[in-house]
Structure formats: C-alpha cells, structure tokens
Amino acid sequence: MDRKVATIQDVARIAGVSTATVSRTLSKPSVVARSTREAVLDAIETTGYRINATASNLRRQRTGTVIVLLPDIANPFFSQILAGLASVLTPAQYGMLIADTQSGPDPDEQLAHYLTSGQADGVILLDGTLSPRALDIPGRPPVVMACEWMDTTTPSVRVENARGAALAVGHLARLGHRHIGHVTGPTGNVLSETRLEGFRDALSALGLPLRDEWVIEGDFSMDSGAAAARAWLALDSRPTGLFLSSDQMAVGFMGELQRRGLTVPSDVSVVGFDNIEIARHLSPGLTTVRQPRTRIGVRAAEMLLSLIDTGLLEGPTEMIEVEFMARESSAAPPR
C-alpha cells in the first residue's frame, strides 16, 4: 500500500482537474459536470483519499469540535445523554470533546476557559450548578444546556421536572398516603430545586401536610439515599410515602432499609426519578418517573447544530415530557 496518505493534490493530478474541482466535487457535487465528477470520484477511489479535517477546519475557520461539559463522566446518568449527543454529532462530522467540570478547581472558570479558547464550535452544558454569569462572554460560541438553569434565555432542553414531582405525589396520594416526604438532590442544583418545588406545590394543591423534617437532603448518589434511609428511620413521625429526586438515591434507600429488615412497600412506599435501567430489575421494582435521556441528548445536539450553522433556533427552549412508571415499590400505606 501507499506509504503516504493521498492529498487533494494527488486526486487532482490523477483526475486531470484542479484541486478546486476536487474540493467542489466533495462539498457541492451539483455544480460540477457529471463527467468530471465521475473522474474525480474514480481518482478518490483509486488513491483512497480521505479529506484532511484539520486542514479543512483551518481554512474554514472552524474546529469541528463540540465541547460537552458535565459534572461527572463516571455517572451512568450522563452516559445515555452522551449516546444521544453522539448519534447526532458524529454523522454531522463533529467530534465531542468531553470535559469534567468537577475534576478541576473552579468549574465556572473551566467553562469560561472553554468558551474563550476557540477550541470548539459549540458547547453543551450538562452541569446545572454552573453560574449563568459565566456565559457573559462576548463572541463566545453557541451554548445549549441540556439541564435546567436559572437563566431562561440560553437555549436549552428541559425536562418536566416539576410535573414529574407532581406525578409522583399524585400517585402516592391516590394510593392513600397522607404523609409524604421527599429526598432532595444537591442544594444549588436546579434539578433538585425544581423537583422540590414541584413536590411542595403538588402537596399543597392536594391539601396534604408537609413538615420540614420530611424533606431530607440528598445529593443524587446511592450513598446519600442510604443516609436518607437512616434519617427517615430516626424520625419521630415517619412519612408513609417518599419521593426521591433520583433513582440512585432510591436504590440506596431501599437497600439500606432492606438490610435493616424493613420491607418496601409494606413499611414505606418509594418513588424515584429517572427510570435508570436497574429500576425494573430491583425487588420490588422501583416506581419512578421516566426521563428519556437519549432524546435529551439528541435534541440538545440538534439545537446546537442549528445554532452553529444558521445562528437561528425555532424556540429557545424545548421541553421533554416525562412519563410515570408504576411498579411494586409503592402501595397503599400501612394502616
């Protein structure tokens, strides 16, 4: 085989045309004559020519790269969103540069770094704890958030978090629960706040009581779910139904209770949020609110591409629907 890689020059020489024609054949085939087009394609075939993305990008003043900023690569929750992103970005010839905001020192500064570095044609934000002011950079590339944020002007893909919380509360209330508690996500995270707010609103809409001690602080992790179980056990008056802001916490919560000899749902009903794969494999199956994570990624990527290409967007925000999944971890309260 050839020792060196073929360049556009080689193709041009073999096809007996100029490099400009080869370039056109690849980018705007309709403007070259059929016969020359075929000659060029033949030459490409015989040389095994592949366009050099670096040179192309340099000339076109773009990078061909999208930066994805997320709080934690190792969190499986994000991997499905990544899969959705990749399914759109890869065919569009964009590479994904994945960066972990929590690994470095100051996440906000990292965001600013990427926005000014010129290393990317666009940025996708999956970290809801970054400060909106970090986006105040003139001439920055387009940004799409695939998470809720204080800021409502930046393009974003959002999930019906408040409605999800209301579905969870409604479900428990319909089963007969009157004492319903909540385990939150991390403070300062907008997902946490929105779900907590949705939880509170749903309770008061139903005329159900809410005690402060029934709101237990978590951070989405399994460990914090296990800790919430211990907190719940220590309560004087325990809610009979619990809505947890993530399935991971629900897993930790149920596991801890079961290891202490309690039973779900006889002792307490549990509802999670996310519908991670394991939810239906647990015993009891975990009742939860499904978020279509792949779809979140797909839509975010599509919005970003549209922003990069045209600078335009149909609507600034897209809302993704959630779906309630009733399983066996919730039942009528003990009497």
Binding site residues, a copy of itself, CB under 8 A = 1, 3, 5, 48, 50, 52-55, 57-58, 63, 65, 72-76, 78-80, 82-83, 86-87, 90, 95-100, 103, 116-119, 138-139, 222, 225-226, 251-252, 254-256, 258-259, 277-278, 281-285, 294, 328
Smallest distance, a copy of itself to C-beta of residue 7, A: 10
Smallest distance, DNA to C-beta of residue 48, A: 12
Q: Please give the radius of gyration of the chain, using alpha carbons only, rounded to the nearest integer.
A: 26
Smallest distance, DNA to C-beta of residue 112, A: 19
Which residue number, 27 or 87, has a Cβ lying nearer to DNA? 27
Smallest distance, a copy of itself to C-beta of residue 200, A: 28
Which residue number, 208 or 278, has a Cβ lying nearer to a copy of itself? 278
Smallest distance, DNA to C-beta of residue 12, A: 7
Which residue number, 76 or 118, has a Cβ lying nearer to DNA? 118
Which residue number, 50 or 133, has a Cβ lying nearer to a copy of itself? 50
Picked from DNA, a copy of itself, none, the partner binding residue 3 (CB below 5 to 8 A depending on kind) is: a copy of itself
Contacts of 250 (CB under 8 A, 6+ apart): 225, 244, 270, 271, 272, 273, 279, 286, 288, 329
Which residue number, 76 or 316, has a Cβ lying nearer to a copy of itself? 76
Smallest distance, a copy of itself to C-beta of residue 288, A: 15
Q: Residue numbers of the site for DNA (CB under 7 A)?
A: 5, 7-9, 16-24, 26-27, 31-33, 35-37, 49, 51-52, 55-56, 58-61
Picked from a copy of itself, DNA, none, the partner binding residue 138 (CB below 5 to 8 A depending on kind) is: a copy of itself
Smallest distance, DNA to C-beta of residue 57, A: 8
Task: Tell me the three-class secondary structure of the chain, residue by residue.
Answer: CCCCCCCHHHHHHHHCCCHHHHHHHHHCHHHCCHHHHHHHHHHHHHHCCCCCHHHHHHHHCCCCEEEEEECCCCCHHHHHHHHHHHHHHCCCCCEEEEEECCCCCCHHHHHHHHHHHCCCCEEEECCCCCCHHHHCCCCCCCEEECCCCCCCCCCEEEECHHHHHHHHHHHHHHCCCCCEEEECCCCCCHHHHHHHHHHHHHHHHCCCCCCHHHEECCCCCHHHHHHHHHHHHCCCCCCCEEEECCHHHHHHHHHHHHHCCCCCCCCCEEECCECCHHHHCCCCCCEEEECCHHHHHHHHHHHHHHHHHHCCCCCCEEEECCEEECCCCCCCCCC
Which residue number, 22 or 125, has a Cβ lying nearer to DNA? 22
Picked from DNA, a copy of itself, none, the partner binding residue 158 (CB below 5 to 8 A depending on kind) is: none
Which residue number, 54 or 152, has a Cβ lying nearer to a copy of itself? 54
